Amino acid sequence: MTEYNADKIGEIHRHLHSELPSEPALRVKALESVLVEKELFTSADIDKWVDAYTEKVGPINGGKVVARAWVDAAFKARLLADGTKAFDELGFKSRVDSDLKTVENTASVQNLVVCTLCSCYPLHLLGMSPTWYKSNEYRARAVRDPRGVLREFGVEIDDDVEVRVWDSTSERRFLVLPQRPPGTETWPEDKLARLVTRNAMIGTQRDLTPESL
Amino acid sequence: MKLPDEPLGPLKRKDGDPTFDEPWQAQALAMADTLVVTGKISAAAWAETLGAELRKAADTGAPDDTETYYRAVLAALERLLNQSGAAEKSEIDARRDQWERAYLNTPHGQPVQLSAGEKA
């Protein structure tokens, strides 16, 4: 009988009113409706953003930049000299007034990007940042113990390879240009672009694997 | 090289986590990013305020996870809007209460309209 009553009460409750959102969800609803009224943006702007960054924008834009740099030495030179202009060439205009610097991995250098202050990240090139990039642990340890962090990602860096850590800010963000893996000499640019992973462009992956495609 | 059965470190283990656990997290970041991109909030002020909220969360022992991160995003957004006067805290508080009443007043299964939360 108790069970019946519990079910009954639950049913009545469900019929009485809609399920109340969580506290942060309520505040987000409040903020959005107030800011839309104040014309700071439209609801459609927010829906479009969520749709784009949860479904569409991934690391492929960054991958296209890397692939172009691999096949076009002149582009690569421009990219390393002034990233922002080179990105414009491919149509990836910086969304905010911040500088985007490309740092190149070589046989003797591994670059690693972090934002120790918060979570600055080139969203338009890499899509949403991974959860670990935003964690305190990564932000604190990437600078202090980059080799240890890389080891956690399964990347062993030889002692003779220098690890350079780049701290992003609101004014300057970074993109790692990974090394082109052997065995991809005949690949077309669009296939190369798909080979480049998000983690490789943050620096927590060193070797790209042609077998993965 | 790593063997496949080698246990992954804590950071790598988070690698496949979904970026958002709940829709409000994406919406909060969408609002913040849109305001930064359209210049309503400066990128520097955003980084500084979000950084301060993240530090505060860490200092008070909040778990180092997605929920904590997006709560910091929301707090930073509210703080900046309150400071600039674009949306004062009292206004957001009142609107939050109105949404709550709207949910409580709307029968289950029907779309919740803000007007359902107006005070009688």
> Choosing from A18, A33, A108, A118, which is the catalytic residue?
A118
Secondary structure string (H, E, C) spanning A34-77? HHHHCCCCCHHHHHHHHHHHHHHCCCHHHHHHHHHHHHCHHHHH
Choose from B5, B24, B91 for mutation: most chain A CBs within 10 A: B24
- Distance in angstroms (rounded) separating the CA atoms of residues A113 and A146: 10
| Mean pLDDT value across chain B | 89
For residues A66-97, b (16+ Cβ closer than 10 Å) or e, as one string? bbbbbeeeebbebbeeebbebbeeeebebebe
Residue with tokens 């409750």: A13
pLDDT at B34 over 90: yes
Q: What is the DSSP string of A170-209?
A: SSEEEEEEPPPPTT-TT--HHHHHHH--HHHHHTS-----
Q: Is A118 one of the annotated active-site residues of the chain?
A: yes
> Choosing from A43, A94, A108, A119, which is the catalytic residue?
A119
DSSP A106: B
Q: Give counts: helices (H), strands (E), chain B.
A: 5, 0
Q: What is the pLDDT of residue B118?
A: 87
Q: How does pLDDT run across B69-84, given as a tens digit for each residue? A: 999 999 999 999 999 9
Q: Least CB-CB distance to B27: which of A28, A38, A130?
A: A28
Q: What is the pLDDT of residue B7?
A: 46
Structural contact between residues A203 and A146, judged by C-beta atoms closer than 8 angstroms: no
Is the Cβ pair B15, A45 closer than 8 Å? no
Is the Cβ pair A130, B15 closer than 8 Å? yes
Percent of chain B predicted with pLDDT > 70: 91
Choose from A14, A18, A26, A144 for mutation: most chain B CBs within 10 A: A18
Q: Hey, what domains does chain A have and what are their CATH numbers?
A: 2-55 (no CATH), 57-212 (3.90.330.10)
The interface predicted TM-score of the complex, written ipTM, equals 0.89
Chain B residues within an 8 Å CB radius of A14: 108
Mean pLDDT, rounded, for B44-50: 96
Q: Is A43 one of the annotated active-site residues of the chain?
A: no
Q: Least CB-CB distance to A17: which of B28, B33, B107?
A: B107
Q: How does pLDDT run across A138-177, given as a tens digit for each residue? A: 999 999 999 999 999 999 999 999 999 999 998 899 999 9
Structural contact between residues A101 and A112, judged by C-beta atoms closer than 8 angstroms: no
Encode chain A (213 residues) as per-residue pLDDT tens digits: 445 566 666 555 555 666 889 999 999 999 999 999 999 999 999 999 988 887 777 788 899 999 999 999 999 999 999 877 888 888 887 666 678 899 999 999 999 999 999 989 988 888 888 889 999 999 999 999 999 999 999 999 999 999 999 999 988 999 999 999 999 999 999 999 999 999 999 999 999 999 888
- Distance in angstroms (rounded) separating the CA atoms of residues A117 and B8: 26
Say which residues have a Cβ less than 8 Å from residue A62's Cβ, sequence separation at least 6.
Answer: A122, A125, A126, A175, A196, A198, A201
Structural contact between residues B113 and B106, judged by C-beta atoms closer than 8 angstroms: yes
Torsion angle defined by CA atoms of residues A122, A128, A130 and A134, in that order, rounded to the nearest 10 degrees = 70
DSSP A127: -
Q: What are phi and psi of A172, to 5 degrees?
A: -140, 125
Percent of chain B predicted with pLDDT > 90: 68
- Distance in angstroms (rounded) separating the CA atoms of residues A140 and A111: 17
Chain A contacts in chain B segment 53-82 (CB below 8 A): 54, 58, 64-66, 69-71, 74, 77-78, 81
- Distance in angstroms (rounded) separating the CA atoms of residues A49 and B43: 18
Structural contact between residues B99 and A30, judged by C-beta atoms closer than 8 angstroms: yes
Is the Cβ pair B108, A17 closer than 8 Å? yes
Is the Cβ pair B108, A15 closer than 8 Å? yes
Q: Please tell me which residue, A97 or B1, carries the higher pLDDT value.
A: A97
